[in-house]
């Protein structure tokens, strides 16, 4: 059975930079619905179209084909007092929509702590792979037809607002963790009521 629109496709993949250095340890596995539903970069979908299980290829993506160009305007400074006492470089925070603090550049993005001192925290709203040329080594391991209900569900999700999970070969497991983390905190529960104002509680990138 060949990869085509309306097919669930399972792939194994590994991610490298433009110099061939691996960006993650080992392979990852992903199952996605083929046909432009937003869960896989279009260039990768195009490379897999019509292929059968066992097919493998390398797909090269320029920044505009992947996670976008690096945007210096997405660097933010925030007061150190707004953040938890236990803070580390690599932790991520989701800006709440009602954060109207002066200088806030992206009211709905995920920000990564890149540096901090006693006075301020440096936050980067770019995806960690923004601005990078990438190589995805991909192998198709399974293909099966999707039901009408599954396609309708995926179509409805694709028409909604973009999220971290839609930005991958998908999204890497780290991004999936980020997205799940945000979903868990659609309301700030009692355990995190002491979180910083205007930000949701952070977690470390793996």
Residue 46 sits in a domain whose CATH number is: 3.10.50.40
Q: Specify whether 161 is located in the same domain as 77.
A: no
At residue 186, the pLDDT reads 26
Beta bridge partners of 116: 121
Question: Is there a single domain that holds both residue 61 and residue 105?
Answer: no
User: What is the pLDDT, as a whole number, of residue 108?
Assistant: 52
Whole-model pTM? 0.66
58 and 136 fall within a common domain: yes
User: Is the same domain home to 61 and 77?
Assistant: no
Average pLDDT taken over every residue of the chain:
77
pLDDT of res. 106: 52
| Residues lower than pLDDT 70 in the chain | 95-108, 159-206
pLDDT tens, residue by residue, 4-40: 999 999 999 999 999 999 998 889 999 999 999 988 9
Is the same domain home to 75 and 58? no
Q: What share of the chain is helix, strand, coil (3-state, %, to 5)?
A: 20, 30, 50
pLDDT given at position 124: 93
51 and 88 inside one domain: no
In a domain, 198, yes or no: no
CA distance 72 to 124: 9
Looking at the DSSP bridge assignments, the partners of residue 14 are: 137
Q: Which of 107, 125, 143 is the last residue of a domain?
A: 125
Q: How many domains does the chain have?
A: 2
The pLDDT assigned to 39 comes to: 87
Provide the domain limits for residue 91: 71-125
């Amino acid at each position: 059975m060949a990869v085509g629109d309306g097919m669930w496709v399972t792939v194994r993949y590994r991610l490298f930079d433009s110099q061939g250095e691996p960006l993650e340890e080992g392979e990852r596995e992903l199952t996605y619905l083929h046909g432009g539903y937003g869960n896989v970069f279009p260039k990768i979908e195009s490379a897999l179209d019509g292929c059968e299980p066992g097919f493998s290829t390398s797909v090269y993506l320029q920044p505009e084909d992947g996670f976008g160009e690096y945007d210096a305007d997405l660097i933010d400074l925030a007061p150190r007092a707004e953040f938890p006492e236990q803070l580390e470089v690599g932790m991520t925070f989701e800006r709440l929509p009602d954060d109207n603090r002066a200088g806030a550049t992206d009211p709905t993005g995920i920000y990564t702590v890149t540096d901090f001192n006693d006075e301020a925290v440096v936050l980067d709203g770019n995806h960690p792979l923004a601005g990078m040329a990438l190589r995805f080594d991909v192998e198709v391991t399974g293909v099966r037809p999707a039901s009408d209900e599954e396609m309708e569900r995926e179509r409805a999700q694709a028409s909604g607002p973009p999220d971290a999970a839609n930005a991958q070969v998908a999204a890497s497991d780290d991004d999936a963790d980020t997205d799940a983390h945000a979903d868990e905190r659609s309301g700030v529960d009692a355990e995190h009521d002491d979180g910083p104002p205007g930000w949701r509680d952070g977690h470390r990138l793996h």
